[in-house]
Amino acid sequence: MIDLHTHSIFSDGVLIPAELARRAEFKGLQVIGITDHGDQSNIDFIIPRLVAVANELNPVMKIKILPGIEITHVPPSLIAAVIAKSRDLGAKIVIVHGETIAEPVAKGTNRAAIDAGADILAHPGLISEADVMAAKDKNVLLEITARQGHSLTNGHVARLAEKIGTKMLINTDSHAPGDLIDGELAKQVICGAGLSEKYFEKMQANAAALIKPD
């Protein structure tokens, strides 16, 4: 399984990156994205360290680690600049923390992330049909999440994405060891969002397409 949205102690996760990667490897994952919460204040701290960890661990582990960032609670007008800087710093995966109903995310964040070309829009809440269409046009993946709270609107996201043909993926948004899941539980989360199990393979293929060769 590929999971491109997890957190380490560099933000609000409980594990150092090496242990997070090892636990994911033991769980049977083939690829993990470590995408700690970032804004203008800390991306230059987080991303280079995750890049260094990935460069050291990837040659000696079975799992592939992708260093990334989850741009979180950044005002919509500033999101494009933070995405650009994140890529310059070496982020392989750029996620934007979408308009989940579980947090007071600024209105307009979803569209700003899409227009700026984020790789993934995480837990986009009650995303509008127009924004789902824009995500399709920009090839931004919409997240179906296993994370408690954020998952409350999975059904809404799945319904619109399926209707419009926008690509989706499943992530855990893991913050602790118990948040990691295997493929069988991922299929249950997908079915719980109102989709069939066949979407698991589609979502995994969508995730794989984001992984660029070194």
Q: Give how far the C-alpha of residue 128 lies from the chain's centroid of Cα atoms, to the nearest Å.
A: 19
Q: What percent of the chain has pLDDT over 90?
A: 99
What's the mean pLDDT in 171-199? 97
Asked if residue 178 is part of any domain, the answer here is yes
Structural domain contains residue 213: no
Looking at residue 164, what is its pLDDT?
A: 98
Q: Is residue 166 included in any domain, yes or no? A: yes
Assigned domain for 47 exists:
yes
Note whether residue 170 is domain-resident. yes
At residue 213, the pLDDT reads 80
Average model confidence (pLDDT) for the chain?
Answer: 98
Question: Range of 117's domain?
Answer: 2-208
Task: Report the distance separating Cα 67 and Cα 49, nearest Å.
Answer: 9
**Would you state the pLDDT for residue 212?**
84
Task: State which amino acid sits at residue 2.
Answer: I
Question: What CATH code is carried by the domain that includes residue 63?
Answer: 3.20.20.140
- Domain assignment of residue 12, yes or no: yes
Enumerate long-range contacts of 181-189, CB under 8 Å, 24 or more apart: 181/1, 181/3, 181/27, 181/146, 182/1, 182/27, 182/28, 182/29, 183/1, 183/28, 185/146, 186/1, 186/146, 189/144, 189/145, 189/146, 189/151, 189/154
Q: 128 in a domain, yes or no?
A: yes
| pLDDT tens by residue, 141-152 | 999 999 999 999
Average pLDDT over residues 15-19: 98
Q: Is 26 inside any structural domain? A: yes
pLDDT band at 74 (very low <50, low <70, confident <90, very high): very high
The total number of structural domains in the chain stands at: 1
Res. 214 pLDDT band, cuts 50 70 90: confident
pLDDT tens-digit series, residues 153-163: 999 999 999 99
- The answer, yes or no, to whether residue 183 has pLDDT greater than 80, is yes
